[in-house]
Amino acid sequence: MTPLDHIVRERIALDGPMRVSDFMQMCLLHPQYGYYVNNPVFGVQGDFITAPEISQMFGELLGLCLAQAWMDQGASEDFHLLELGPGRGTLMSDILRATRSLPGMQRAAKVTLLEASETMKQRQKETLSGYRVNWISSLDELAEKPIYVVANEFFDALPIRQYVRVDDAWHERLIGLQDDKLGFGLSPIAQTGDYLQMRLDDTQDGDIVEVSEPTKSIICQLSKHIQTHGGCALIIDYGEWTSKGDTLQAVLDHKYSNVLQALGDTDLTAHVDFEQVARACQCQASKMCTQQDLLERLGISDRAQTLVTSAGNETQKNDVLSAYRRLTHEEEMGTLFKAISLFPHNGPSPAGFEA
């Protein structure tokens, strides 16, 4: 048993069954034993590998997309270049390298990272040592200026609550203890808002619907800021338009594992429900598209071709081609991962997205 296995059991023994959201929060960000505090090992050797860790092409294309949006909106001389949940800092590093040829942009950009884990901050400091970077722990710390935002695999790490439909009512899924074993159970009928009321139309008895309150509040705050001060947000994550079913998953050493075991050692995520993102948005939201469509529209084929041409040997060539495939192919990340952008009402939609 991990230290967090004990802590969660003690907490349930004391306070009763726990919401899935509180469980996720503890497993990911417990100040001593949380996954992002204790196991910040993603990359090739880690538990999972994210798009920017697969290839520099991902960050370069998103960087150019942000640069185009910045120019389309008048090339503000003072703005936040903001990343949510930057992991090892690779994506921001690729964005900054790709936009170096726009000196006006780099001068105007206040590089800002929203990060909850001190351990991850240290990793980001190392990766971005050549740049001036500000860390924030809440969007309240943003100044009143335009924000150009990127978030890759950030929202899937935010806590969700799960509701199970029983007849025409919703019960919250809770984690409890039986004979010292963790297991799922149900709350009495839960008080729910308009959204779950609406989901009675497309669900049946026994179906699970997930709701992420932190996602809603971050999108609400971000989009209000974009509407008032300008900018845009590019959000990429795995998920679908409307979630149905239990999508909470644990990954350990590149393999799925039991969400109720090895707490703090496994990475816990849930699919992002893009309809809930769009509903919380207070500015314009683009249509959702697949990562494949976005990257192709931003020119990944040409970029891959250029890298293949300049590759020094066959191994490098094959690395580029295999990264291209991993990022765009249906059987890899191409269609499981989706993208959406947020931008001001009546403003230009960021390149690669349809308004």
57 or 157: CB nearest ligand SAH: 157
Report if residue 157 touches ligand SAH, rule: CB under 6 A. Answer: yes
Give, as ranges, the residues between 72 and 91 that touch ligand SAH (CB under 6 A): 85-87, 91
Nearer residue to ligand SAH within complex by CB, 108 or 116? 116
Q: Is 36 in the site for ligand SAH (CB under 6 A)?
A: yes
In terms of Cβ atoms closer than 10 Å to its own Cβ (0-12, 13-18, 19+), residue 81 is buried
We find the least distance from the C-beta atom of residue 83 to ligand SAH, in angstroms, to be 7
Instruction: Select from 11-19, 68-76, 151-159, 256-264 the region that touches ligand SAH (CB under 6 A).
Output: 151-159
The residue within the footprint of ligand SAH, chosen from 60, 153, 246, 293 (CB under 6 A), is: 153
Kindly list the distances between the CA atom of residue 12 and the CA atoms of 21, 22, 249, in Å, as whole numbers in the listed order: 14, 11, 21
- Tell me: does residue 352 bind ligand SAH (CB under 6 A): no
Question: 38-57 mask for ligand SAH (x: CB under 6 A)?
Answer: ------------x-xx----
Tell me the residue ranges of DSSP E strands in the chain.
18-19, 79-84, 109-114, 133-136, 147-152, 161-166, 169-178, 181-189, 208-211, 231-240, 249-252, 255-257, 267-269, 272-273, 284-285, 289-290, 337-343
Nearer to ligand SAH, 50 or 243 (CB): 50
CA dist., res. 319 & res. 353, Å (int): 28
Query: What is the distance between the alpha carbons of residues 184 and 178, in angstroms, rounded to a whole number?
Result: 10
Question: Is the CB of 114 or the CB of 288 nearer to ligand SAH?
Answer: 114
Q: Specify whether the CB–CB gap between 291 and 339 falls below 8 A.
A: yes
- Residue 122, φ and ψ in degrees, nearest 5: -60, -45
Cβ distance to ligand SAH smaller for residue 138 or 322: 138
Q: Least distance to ligand SAH from the beta carbon of 153, Å?
A: 4
Task: Give, as ranges, the residues between 98 and 117 that touch ligand SAH (CB under 6 A).
Answer: 114-117
Compute the distance between CA of residue 81 and CA of residue 79 in angstroms, rounded to an integer: 6
With CB under 6 A, what is the number of residues at the site for ligand SAH?
19
Torsion of CA 92, 136, 159, 227, to 10 degrees: -80
Cβ 94 to ligand SAH shortest distance, Å: 10
Q: Does the footprint of ligand SAH cover residue 152 (CB under 6 A)?
A: yes
How far is CA 222 from each of CA 68, 137, 236, rounded to the nearest angstrom?
20, 14, 15
Binding site for ligand SAH (CB under 6 A): 28, 36, 50, 52-53, 85-87, 91, 114-117, 120, 152-154, 157-158
